């Protein structure tokens, strides 16, 4: 987890600590909190059980915890000024109960648009928007270590900037 605040917001570590304090310990074996300028995504790992958790277990957990999750989300949304989304992880599977899809404006030249259009025409994506999201996921999946290193470097840049002398 990096300590990104995103456009002047609360650092991710502070948000994560808030949820670690508020989320009942009985819910999850582990808690993963990610945040950007628009959304806080809280994904908890369900405790191992026999039989392993499945879709029915997840649905039951979702319904049982809904009132408390809504209460926690409302508190966090007021405090951090971002929407809160929830999910669970069980073994190798992750279920997101809610999450935002945020439009992002970009300007692309003909060669970049042709890449997106090829993905659409080839049936890889339904639209240019889906094609762009596919490309972003591809970079995230194949360059995760490099992206993590870049994110960690940005934390240091923010620290140095915060120590700048007054003009």
Domain range list for the chain: 1-102, 103-167
Q: Are 33 and 41 in contact (CB under 8 A)?
A: yes
pLDDT for position 56: 82
**pTM of the predicted model, to two decimals?**
0.72
pLDDT exceeds cutoff 80 at 36: yes
The tens digit of pLDDT for each residue in 77-107 reads: 999 999 999 999 987 889 999 888 888 888 9
Provide the terminal-to-terminal Cα distance of the chain, rounded to the nearest Å: 33
Query: Which of 13-27, 39-53, 112-126, 137-151 bottoms out in mean pLDDT, i.e. has the lowest?
Result: 39-53
Largest CA distance in the chain: 63
Residue that wins the pLDDT comparison between 54 and 124: 124
| Average pLDDT rounded to a whole number, residues 25-36 | 93
pLDDT confidence of residue 50 = 62
Residue whose C-alpha is closest to residue 61's, from 99, 23, 33: 23
What is the structure's pLDDT at 2?
A: 43
Q: Are 105 and 61 in contact (CB under 8 A)?
A: no
Cβ-based neighbours of 96, under 8 Å, separated by 6 or more? 41, 43, 85, 86, 87
pLDDT at 70: 96
Measure the CA dihedral 135/138/142/146, to 10°: 50
Span 128-156, mean pLDDT?
91
In degrees, rounded to 5, the angle at the alpha carbon of residue 3 between the alpha carbons of residues 136 and 44 is: 75
User: Which pair of tokens denotes residue 16?
Assistant: 């994560």
pLDDT per position as a tens digit, 60-79: 899 999 999 999 999 999 99
User: In terms of DSSP bridges, do strands 93-96 and 83-90 run parallel, antiparallel, or are they unpaired?
Assistant: antiparallel
Predicted pLDDT of residue 74: 96
Q: For 25-163, list the strands marked E by DSSP.
A: 30-35, 39-45, 83-90, 93-96
Residue-averaged pLDDT of the chain: 88
pLDDT recorded at residue 52: 67
For residue 98, give the 3-state DSSP assignment.
coil
């Amino acid at each position: 987890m990096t300590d990104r605040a995103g456009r002047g917001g609360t650092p991710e570590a502070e948000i994560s600590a808030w949820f670690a304090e508020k989320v009942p310990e009985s819910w999850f074996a582990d808690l993963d909190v990610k945040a950007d300028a628009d959304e806080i995504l809280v994904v908890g790992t369900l405790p191992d059980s026999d039989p392993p958790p499945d879709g029915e277990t997840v649905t039951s957990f979702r319904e049982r915890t809904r009132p408390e999750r809504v209460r926690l989300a409302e508190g966090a949304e007021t405090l951090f000024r971002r929407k809160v989304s929830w999910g669970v992880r069980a073994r190798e599977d992750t279920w997101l109960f809610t999450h935002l899809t945020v439009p992002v404006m970009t300007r692309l030249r003909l060669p970049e648009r042709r890449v997106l259009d090829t993905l659409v025409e080839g049936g890889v994506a339904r639209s240019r928007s889906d094609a762009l999201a596919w490309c972003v996921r591809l970079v995230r999946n194949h360059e995760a270590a490099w992206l993590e290193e870049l994110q960690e470097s940005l934390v240091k840049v923010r620290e140095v900037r915060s120590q700048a002398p007054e003009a």
